Structure 1
Amino acid sequence: MRILISNSSNEPIYEQISSQIKAMILKGDLKEGDMLPSIRGLAKDLQISVITTKRAYDELEREGFIESVQGKGSFVASQNKELMREMKLKIIEEKLQEVVKESNILGLSYSEVSEMLRILFEEV
């Protein structure tokens, strides 16, 4: 599992960790039942505090992305398919809002953006 920490980001380190793990789960890179690195192991790999890593895991568990089993570790939790779809849609909506804002700044019309999106869909 590869997690990148940016010291120049305004986002706290624990949020960077949790958001990257969430993204891996939503993309399917991490699947139900997959074991996550231990809190200590991840802290050591990232050269950060164990407390920071624990906070990230606690947040993920509170949000239902992972389950921790005392003495065994943390695992990707089973996900409600409908909830997963809604979360993915929310991410896409947020990214599209960014596109709309940038398009407005650049003075692009809806039809120009729509055409760009159509072309991208055909390429992928």
Structure 2
Amino acid sequence: MPAKTTGEPAGQRLARALRRRIVDELSEGDQFPSSAQLQVEYGVSSAVVRDAIKILKAEGFVVSQQGKGEFVAAIGLS
């Protein structure tokens, strides 16, 4: 993840990057990477990942399935 250059919170920056990833690379129903994978890939803390996932859920890009993880939602692709 690029160095902070604006006043935008890290969770919002990560959510923006993940939104692009959803639109460009993933399909409805695809399992989203785990929090641990995202932490390593983007070099961020677990709190930043939680914030980003929370934003994506609120926007309808990601849905959770208890005990299974997060998945790409159909609504986020419209």
Shorter-chain TM band: 0.7 to 0.9
> Do residues 38 (structure 1) and 34 (structure 2) align?
yes
Indicate the SS of the match to 1:36: coil
Q: Give the distance between the partners of 2:48 and 2:21, measured in 1 at CA.
A: 19
> Do residues 21 (structure 1) and 18 (structure 2) align?
yes
Q: Which runs of 5+ in 1 are unaligned?
A: 85-124
Tell me which of the two structures has the higher relative contact order, counting C-alpha pairs closer than 8 angstroms and 6 or more residues apart. Answer: 2
Q: CA RMSD in A?
A: 2.0
Larger fraction in helix: 1
The TM-score normalised by the length of structure 2 is 0.79
Preserved CA contact (<8 Å) 2:60 2:73: yes
Residue 8 of structure 2 is matched in structure 1 by 11
Superposition deviation, residue 71 in structure 1: 1.8
Superposition deviation, residue 51 in structure 1: 1.0
The TM-score normalised by the length of structure 1 is 0.54
Pick aligned residue for 2:72 from 76, 79, 85: 76
Summarize the Cα distance change of 1:12–1:30 in structure 2 as closer, same or farther, 3 Å threshold: same
Superposition deviation, residue 32 in structure 1: 0.4
Q: Give the distance between the partners of 2:50 and 2:38, measured in 1 at CA.
A: 10
Q: Which runs of 5+ in 2 are unaligned?
A: none
Pick aligned residue for 2:56 from 60, 63, 66: 60
Structure showing greater radius of gyration is 1
